[in-house]
Each structure stands twice: as C-alpha cells, then as structure tokens.
Chains A and B, each alone.
Chain A
Amino acid sequence: MIALLIAIPVAAALIVPFLRKQAHIVFFAMTLLLAAVAAYVALHGFAVLNAMPPWPMFFTLTADKFSILMIVLIAIVALVTAFASLSFTNDYTYYALASLAIAGMNGIMLVNDIFTLYVFIEVASLATFALIAFNRNVEGFEAAFKYIILSTVATTFILLGIFILYGITGGVSFAEISVGVKRPESVKPGLFCLMLLAAGFLVKSGFVPFHTWVPDAYGASPNPISITLAGIITKAVGLYALIRIAVTVIGVTPAISMIMLVIGIITAVTGAVLAINQPDGKRMLAYSSISQMGYIVLGIFSGNPIGVVGGVFHLFNHAILKSLLFINMASLESSTKSRELEKYSGIGEKMPVTSGTFAVGSLSIAGIPPLNGFFSKLFILIGLFAAKQTAIGVLATLASVLTLWYFLVFQRKVIFGKASEAVASVREAPLTYIIPAVLLAAISIVTGIGFSPTISAFIAPAADVLMNAASDATSAGVLP
C-alpha cells in the first residue's frame, strides 16, 4: 500500500505525455488519489512493506508516525498545488516534473537506508531545479542556477558523510549505522559525519548562511511551484532528512543540540530581519520561510518534550500557512498583475476572500491566538526556557516580535489601507485559488482552536518518534 505513494505520482508522470491536453486534470486526479492513500496510511498509523518474490526486487519501505505526518503534508500541499496549477498551465512537462518531485519526496519518507535517501533527495532536487526555471525568464535562470550549484555542493557533503559512515559502520542502512556509530571508537567520527550530513541538509533547506538561493528561487519560480517549494520541498529534502538522521539514526549529544540551536536562532533572527522592508511580496515570504525553518529547529533540538512537540507542530503549521500565504500572493498577482506590495494597498474590499484567508494566515504565523501558529510558537518558547536555554529563548521571542511586526505592517498596508486607483478595477481571484485558500485557512483555524486534540491525535505521536528514537528504530523491525 505504501508503495502506491511512489507509484501513483510516477504513473501520472508517465501518463501525461500521452494526454497532453488534459495534463492538468491528470495531475489533479493524481493528487486526489494520493490524498486518499495518505489518509488511509495515516489512519493505520504505521506501515511496513517488505517486497520479496514474486516481485523481482527486494526492498523494505517503512512509514513511522513522523514519516506519516510528512506524507500527509506532502499530499495536502500537492493538492493545493494542483488547484493552483489548474489555471496556470497545461504543459505536460510541468506536471510530469511536479509528479516526479512528489514521488521523490514520498520516497524520502519511506526509506530505511541513507544512500537511498540520497537518491530520492536528488530526484526531488533535480525536479525542483527544472520547475524553478519553468518560466524561462532571466530571473528564473539565475535562481535555478544558484539552486542547482548550491544543491550540488550540498550533495557532495551528504555523500561524503554517507561514505565515511559506510566505512566506519560497514553498511549504509539506518539500522547498521545506528549500531555502528555506537562503538566507542566510532563515536567521534560518527559525529563528524553528522556535521557533514547536517551541512548538506541545511543548505538544501535554506538555513543561514546557506540561504542565498531561497529568495531568488521562491520569487522567480512559477506561483504554484512557490507554493510547493515553500510548503513542503525545503522541509522534505532538507529538514526531515536532517531530523531523521540526527535524531533517530545517529543520535544527538548535548553539544550537537547546542550547535543546532545556535544555527536555528541565527536563521530565525536573520530571516525575520531580512523580511522587513522587502518590496516584493514573494521575496518577503521567502525570508519569512527561512526564519520559520529556524524556529522548527529550535523546537526539535530543544531537548525538551514540549519543545519537540512545538517543533513538530510548527513544521505542520508552517507547511499549511506558507502554502496559504503563497496562494494568496498568487491570487494578488493574478488580479493586479504585480508583486509589489505598495501597489496592493486597500485591496481588502475588492478581494474579500483572499484578504480574509490572508489575514488568517499572517495572523497565525505572527503568533496570534487562538490560531495554530500561536500554539506551536508558544510550545517552542516554553520548551526552550524549560531546557534552560534562556539566551536563545529570549532571542527567539524577539524574532517572534519581529515576525509579528512585519506581518502586521504587511496586512495594514496591503489589505486595510485606502483603496488606491491601481486597485479600482480588480476582481476577486478565480475559484482555483479560492478553494484551496479557504481550505487551508479552515485547517489552520480548526487546528488552532482545537489544538489539544490535534496535538494528541496527530502531532504528539510524531514527536514521540523523535523522543524515543532508539527504541522506535529497533521495534520497527527494519533490520536487514
């Protein structure tokens, strides 16, 4: 069943060259099917697939609670992208590449082997590279080139880490590496490899100081792809892999946690500072995304259960909220033909649904109760202070205030200002943008007000995976 998560998108990629005029429908249908499979897997809570004869291949796919959370997020963001792409393009290469990116990301969630993880990361990265350059203008080329070069350097670090781990543990699967790095003479080299791997994964996620490709890529990619990029791709290829390897495979020491916290806080603050005064809406959201990724790391490496729950919840929230904000940007751009924030003033009365959902999204990211963003940020901050990381906690709170500030300015300027002449003739965005925006806003309101059941049903089990890393890996039964 979980093999379908990879098979369905690949099938879509293979079908669209033959159904070129209906490519967008095929993709949309595929995301619906994928969402159904993801829901089914989520309801079962755990899945292992052991392929053996009569299949010609031997492999094992595993989905634990943390993977399942990511799989559900991938399905949601894919569905939203499908909606947004309906009015964007009919081009079959676009849909084929998007399907392959989704297949790659699902693959990342299901593997038991660090080298296969690398293979699927490369699939997703290469497809993303093509999609960033899809608009084929100079802006797109520069962004795509920066992305692929930095991505290749990241791959080099990741492979180096993988090969050294192979050397000191004799194998490449998660189980072998877990066991191998616990040998006393391999602890230090193991941690060194973890740093190499972390460097690679952090570049792919757009952490500071490797974030230079993010604003260009988010800004220059076609609007539906910005949604996918911000919503799930940077999390899946970089952050998820880092968390999986660091927490469940190799294991973090207090020193490593400290390094991660420092990287997280630098990223959170830098992203927030750079987001202020960005004239281009998509670039502002890009810097905001960089900042929020820093927050997720602060939560997960805080070493405190509340912090970890907060981090995982923030991962979920950010995927939902950033997708929402980027859909709103797409709506705004399609109605006003511009991405300059100055030109949007007073658009609130002309585009009520977009403004409403935009308000939900930006208030939530800024951390206003009772929306979901407030709770995830609160838990992260509580976790940091409870773990005695006072300096970092204070800085994180400051960054949160900055986030609040620039999003409120954004809102005031754009939605609630006086309507300028530029927006006189503007109409509401098409249904293909409205439906997903309302959906995402509804999710964020529901998970905000009902944060307690959401967390206990959905987020806490995923966080438990990270807290009980060692016992979980062996009980999953994935020994070779």
Chain B
Amino acid sequence: MTISIDLVLFALIVGFALITSAVRDLIRAALSLAVISAVLSIVIFRLGAPYAAAFELSVAAGLITVLFISAISLINPDKEAMKESVMITAGLPIATVAFGALLWFGKKYLPVLSFMESPHTAPIRETLWNLRSLDLVGQILIILTGVFLVILFFKEKRS
C-alpha cells in the first residue's frame, strides 16, 4: 500500500473526526469540524468536482463553523463543557479501528458494486438548471421552513 496523497487526506479526515468527537471543549470540536471540511474540500476537488469543492469550503468550513461557534457562545461554553463518557473517549478509537479492520479483511464478503456510466455528463451549470430544477423549488421551500422555524424559536413567549 503506497502512501499516496489521497491516503494522507483520508487519514486526516478520519483522525480529525475522532478528535472532534472526543475533545472536551466544544469550540475546539467546532474548529476540528472546520478542519475536516477543509480537507474534504481538497478531496472533492481531486475527485473532479471543483465547484462543489468551493461550496464545501465556504459553506461547511465557513458558514456552519460560524453558526456552531455563535450557538456555543450563546450557551456559555465554560460552564457547559461536558466531559464525554468513557464510551466515547476510549471506546470510539477502539471501535473505529475494529470496524476498519472488519471492512479491510471482510472485503471479499461484501457485494461487488458495478458502477454504470451515467448519461448525465453535462457540466454542472446545465444539470442544475435543466435537470434538477424541481430540487431548486425544494431548496426554496426548505429555506422558508427554516426561516419560520427560527422565528418560532426565538420569539418571546406570549402567554
């Protein structure tokens, strides 16, 4: 197994996922999540999806991190940093390694997926507007839902 850059990137992602799950301080957890997103965006770029990589970087590593940190700050982080249970701090790495080994050595039992070449080879700007227009309607609906939900939760409670 040669050490390729892909392997390094994947190892970073999984490693930081473990860190984000076990670290005690919530702000450090949010920042680890941002690191995962940044490395993931590099991986996505290497997989031939440059626009999606840009999206991932700006939205996941940027927007979501800011959201998390705002929320965590609203919650008074010093008082609320909870130590995770033993199942996670110790159990998670062990379980992950066990699962990884299970996948690696059980490779021959897994079904072989034969991927089919897709006819949708048009670049993203055409696919998004021509093929997936209804998804965009759905996006508008979900944004509206989110807006009303946030209004609901942040209103002053009237009797």
Which residues on A are within 8 Å of B, measured CB to CB?
A: 6, 10, 13-14, 51, 56-59, 61, 93-94, 96-97, 100, 103-104, 107, 111, 113, 115-116, 119-120, 122-123, 126-127, 129-130, 133-134, 136, 164, 166-171, 180, 183, 185-186, 188-189, 192, 480
Option from B135, B144, B145 in Cβ contact (under 8 Å) with A116: B135
Nearest Cβ distance between residue A213 and chain B, in whole angstroms?
18
Option from B113, B145, B153 in Cβ contact (under 8 Å) with A168: B113
Nearest Cβ distance between residue A118 and chain B, in whole angstroms?
9
Contacts of B134 on A, CB cut-off 8 Å? 57, 59, 61, 111, 113, 116, 119
Nearest Cβ distance between residue A466 and chain B, in whole angstroms?
24
Check B135 against A97 for contact (C-beta < 8 Å): no
Check A13 against B120 for contact (C-beta < 8 Å): no
30 pairs from A and B in contact (CB 8 Å cutoff): A14-B144, A51-B133, A58-B130, A59-B137, A93-B149, A93-B152, A100-B145, A100-B148, A103-B141, A116-B132, A116-B138, A119-B135, A119-B138, A119-B139, A120-B138, A123-B138, A126-B145, A127-B145, A127-B149, A130-B145, A130-B148, A133-B153, A167-B115, A167-B116, A168-B114, A168-B115, A169-B116, A170-B119, A188-B111, A192-B111
Mask for B9-44, Cβ within 8 A of A = 1, else 0? 000000000000000000000000000000000000
Mask for B121-140, Cβ within 8 A of A = 1, else 0? 00000000111111111110
Contacts of A166 on B, CB cut-off 8 Å? 118
Check A171 against B138 for contact (C-beta < 8 Å): no
Check B145 against A93 for contact (C-beta < 8 Å): no
Check B136 against A57 for contact (C-beta < 8 Å): yes
Known: A93-B151, A136-B157. A185 touches B138 (CB 8 A): no
Contacts of B117 on A, CB cut-off 8 Å? 170
**What are the 10 A-B residue pairs with the smallest beta carbon separation, nearest first?**
A119-B138, A57-B133, A170-B118, A59-B134, A130-B149, A170-B116, A93-B152, A96-B148, A123-B141, A59-B133
Nearest Cβ distance between residue B99 and chain A, in whole angstroms?
16
In the assembly, what is the distance between CA of A115 and CA of B137, in Å? 13
Contacts of A189 on B, CB cut-off 8 Å? 111, 113
Known: A58-B133, A119-B135, A164-B113. A171 touches B119 (CB 8 A): yes
B100 on the A face (CB < 8 A): no
Nearest Cβ distance between residue A152 and chain B, in whole angstroms?
14
Nearest Cβ distance between residue B156 and chain A, in whole angstroms?
11
In the assembly, what is the distance between CA of A165 and CA of B21, in Å? 30
Contacts of A127 on B, CB cut-off 8 Å? 145, 149
Check B135 against A107 for contact (C-beta < 8 Å): no
Majority SS at the chain A contact face: helix
Q: How many A-B residue pairs have CB under 8 A?
A: 110
Check A97 against B142 for contact (C-beta < 8 Å): no
Q: Which of A120, A133, A169 is most buried by chain B, counting CB atoms within 10 A of its CB?
A: A120
In the assembly, what is the distance between CA of A57 and CA of B131, in Å? 9
Q: Which of B120, B139, B145 is most buried by chain A, counting CB atoms within 10 A of its CB?
A: B145
B155 on the A face (CB < 8 A): yes
In the assembly, what is the distance between CA of A111 and CA of B134, in Å? 9
Check B114 against A185 for contact (C-beta < 8 Å): yes
Option from B112, B118, B142, B149 in Cβ contact (under 8 Å) with A122: B142
Option from B113, B120, B152, B155 in Cβ contact (under 8 Å) with A167: B113
In the assembly, what is the distance between CA of A20 and CA of B146, in Å? 19
Nearest Cβ distance between residue B113 and chain A, in whole angstroms?
5
Check B129 against A57 for contact (C-beta < 8 Å): yes
Contacts of A115 on B, CB cut-off 8 Å? 132, 135
Contacting residues of chain B (90-119) with chain A, CB-CB under 8 angstroms: 111-119
Check B151 against A171 for contact (C-beta < 8 Å): no
In the assembly, what is the distance between CA of A122 and CA of B129, in Å? 21
Check B119 against A126 for contact (C-beta < 8 Å): no
Q: What 20 additional pairs, Cβ within 8 angstroms, besides A94-B152, A107-B137, A170-B119?
A: A10-B144, A14-B144, A57-B136, A58-B130, A93-B149, A107-B141, A111-B134, A115-B135, A119-B138, A120-B138, A122-B142, A126-B149, A130-B152, A130-B153, A133-B153, A166-B118, A167-B115, A168-B113, A169-B116, A186-B114
In the assembly, what is the distance between CA of A103 and CA of B134, in Å? 13
* Residue of chain A at shortest CB distance from B133: A57
Check A100 against B144 for contact (C-beta < 8 Å): yes
Contacts of A133 on B, CB cut-off 8 Å? 153
Nearest Cβ distance between residue A50 and chain B, in whole angstroms?
12
Check A134 against B113 for contact (C-beta < 8 Å): no
In the assembly, what is the distance between CA of A104 and CA of B139, in Å? 11
In the assembly, what is the distance between CA of A336 and CA of B46, in Å? 65
Contacts of B157 on A, CB cut-off 8 Å? 136
In the assembly, what is the distance between CA of A133 and CA of B149, in Å? 10
Check A58 against B131 for contact (C-beta < 8 Å): yes
In the assembly, what is the distance between CA of A171 and CA of B155, in Å? 43
Check B149 against A171 for contact (C-beta < 8 Å): no
Contacts of A58 on B, CB cut-off 8 Å? 129-131, 133
In the assembly, what is the distance between CA of A189 and CA of B138, in Å? 29
Known: A130-B152, A134-B152, A136-B157. A123 touches B114 (CB 8 A): no
In the assembly, what is the distance between CA of A273 and CA of B114, in Å? 45
Nearest Cβ distance between residue B129 and chain A, in whole angstroms?
7
In the assembly, what is the distance between CA of A445 and CA of B74, in Å? 55
Check A180 against B116 for contact (C-beta < 8 Å): yes
In the assembly, what is the distance between CA of A82 and CA of B137, in Å? 25
* Residue of chain A at shortest CB distance from B134: A59
Contacts of B135 on A, CB cut-off 8 Å? 115-116, 119
* Residue of chain A at shortest CB distance from B113: A189
Option from A61, A119, A134, A167 in Cβ contact (under 8 Å) with B142: A119
In the assembly, what is the distance between CA of A122 and CA of B146, in Å? 11
Contacts of B146 on A, CB cut-off 8 Å? 126
Nearest Cβ distance between residue A111 and chain B, in whole angstroms?
7
Nearest Cβ distance between residue A304 and chain B, in whole angstroms?
31
Nearest Cβ distance between residue B118 and chain A, in whole angstroms?
4
